[in-house]
Structure 1
Amino acid sequence: MDRPIVTCGATSGIGARQRIELFHARYPWSFKKGSRGPAGSFFTGLLHAYGQPKSVSPPIRSSQGSAPTPHSTEPGASMPHVQVSVDTHDGVCAATLHTPSDVGAWPGVILYPDAGGVRGTFAAMADRLAGMGYSVLLPDVYYRTEWAPFDIATVFDDPSERERLAALSVSVDADMVVRDAGAFLAYLARHPAVAGTRVGTVGYCMGGRMSLTAAAHHADRIAAAASFHGGELAAAGDPDSPHLLAHLMRGTIYVAAAQDDKVFPADQHERLRSALSGAGVRYTLETYAAAHGFAVPDIPPHDADAERRHWDALARLYGENLSG
């Protein structure tokens, strides 16, 4: 059943070009050479990292407002999953809930996708995480806007698609992330397939920033948060930068940076380390010997060894912090 499309916030009711212009007005340094603005360098980094085509399976298509139907990219790896609707402050967020194959209840995890949004690859990743013993909520973070899934193999070769991706990637602000996270946590708390009150978050690229933002503002529930090749985690001059929220974080934080990452350069790395250390946060901050995008199988920088390392890191993080 199709769900209504909800628009809200500062960018509601406007088109892709207007959204980009609005973002330029907010952050005049964005999208310029050498930019280090909150999303300016973020999107420039995406172009740098993802700009080479890669042959992948066609993206999953969805009807207006509904979550894409998940499938596994690995034979035999599919887990039970259902399409769900999460009531939020701003409307209805379509999502999928992935659970282990056995009947029971398991710790909850929220999985935030990269800027390309929910698609088959992330459904497969949610399946894999569910197979590790977790009930995984994969939300459509762009639910406020009617959008069609991107073809990740060609999105950066098509100027109109690049513009559409840019508009979407800046349409979800920090306040929205915080409100949505509260709704996701409330949904998990009510679901019979979720055990306990400790929840984990994990995000990739843009989602890494969302994961840490949620962990800070919902510290009473989020016991472990991970970011993999996350962008703009400690951007100077950005009032919503996650590093400024370190004093709110109570859970364990794991950040895996990419090598020579334009959206998380050395100065941000040190700024984040200083903030987490100064706030007494339990954290791991390390750099994988792989490019931005290493953990996501359907994009060109994917690195199989780094992806395996990231799954091992998640297993340890959640195993140590979400049980009991």
Structure 2
Amino acid sequence: MTTVLGTSLDLPTQDGTADAYLVHPDDNSPHPGVLLYMDAFGLRPHLRAMADRIAAAGYTVLVPNVFYRNGRAPIMELPDFIDPSQRPDIFETLGPLIFALTPELVVRDAEAYLGWLADSPLVTDGPVGVTGYCMGAGLALRTAGTFPQRVAAAAGFHGGRMATDAPDSPHLLAENITAELYFGHADQDPGMPAEQIERLNKALTAAGVRHEAEVYAGAQHGFTQADTAAYHADADARHWEAVLSLLNRTL
């Protein structure tokens, strides 16, 4: 297994400074860049471990705290094992932050994150990959649709609200996308019901986007997050195979 080197950094944006986690193979060489968009629970040991695993496969991985406008991570103290049913206060705190992250802010931030990767000597020249979890899946889709020249691959897992009736729904950017996409949906996810999955697939197909979307049977929203009650080991293993295969194929 490749040894990786992880560090915290501060990344300038149009609206301030985003704290972030950066990890890459410990070999003093540049590697293809990957932008990893967090789930709602944010930068924490489990998410850093996920980034480490991608880096060990040969990538330089940037994980920004997308809630940086509300403070440095952790935005709130979380238990080692997160079970929102036992802690309703978690989403009472995080819910407003998710909805405050408007499409305009997402795009401004994505430009800063992609710009940082483009300028880093730790990252090879050329487009990058993006992967996102929970709310991060929608951020990955929006980033691929807004910066097609910068994104060669994008993946999203247990994402919600990616193909709504809203005029700024991320699926409406499909015609701009040049990346190859992969989505792993949970079949027990009220945030991404069957009609939204179908709407997303139709938009991508109509736009000629190379994509694959799979529905993971028995999985709940959050199935990749091993430090939460939603974790599903089989679905998580399937997710790792899918995301690493996509990155290896495109980057």
Shorter chain as denominator, the TM-score bin is over 0.9
Residue 228 of structure 2 aligns to a residue whose secondary structure is coil
Query: CA deviation digits over 1:189-218, x for unaligned, max 9?
Result: 111110122101100010000010011101
Contact kept in structure 2, 1:95 and 1:137, CA below 8 Å: yes
Mapped partners of 1:158, 1:281: distance in 2: 40
Partner of 1:184: 113
Q: Is 2:6 the counterpart of 1:81? A: yes
Q: Give, in angstroms, the shift of residue 85 of structure 1.
A: 1.4
Percent of matched pairs sharing the same residue: 42
Partner of 1:121: 46
Partner of 1:280: 208
Partner of 1:304: 233
Counterpart mapping for 1:175-324 below 5 A: 175-236=104-165, 238-289=166-217, 290-322=219-251
Q: Cα 1:220–1:149, aligned 2, differ >3 Å: closer, same or farther?
A: farther
Q: Cα 1:158–1:295, aligned 2, differ >3 Å: closer, same or farther?
A: closer
Q: Which runs of 5+ in 2 are unaligned?
A: none
Q: Which runs of 5+ in 1 are unaligned?
A: 1-75
TM-score for both structures, normalised by structure 2: 0.93
Q: Is 2:22 the counterpart of 1:97? A: yes
Query: CA deviation digits over 1:265-317, x for unaligned, max 9?
Result: 01001101110000010100111122221111111121112111111111111
Q: Cα 1:171–1:150, aligned 2, differ >3 Å: closer, same or farther?
A: farther
Mapped partners of 1:183, 1:301: distance in 2: 32
Residue 164 of structure 1 aligns to a residue whose secondary structure is helix
Q: Give 1 or 2 for the bigger CA radius of gyration.
A: 1
Higher strand share: 2
TM-score for both structures, normalised by structure 1: 0.73
- Partner amino acid, structure 2, of 1:133: G
Partner of 1:139: 64
Residue 168 of structure 1 aligns to a residue whose secondary structure is helix
Contact kept in structure 2, 1:200 and 1:224, CA below 8 Å: yes
Query: CA deviation digits over 1:222-270, x for unaligned, max 9?
Result: 010000011111012x122111110111101111100131011010011
RMSD over equivalenced CA pairs, Å: 1.6
Q: How many residues align?
A: 246
Contact kept in structure 1, 2:2 and 2:25, CA below 8 Å: no
Residue 82 of structure 1 aligns to a residue whose secondary structure is strand
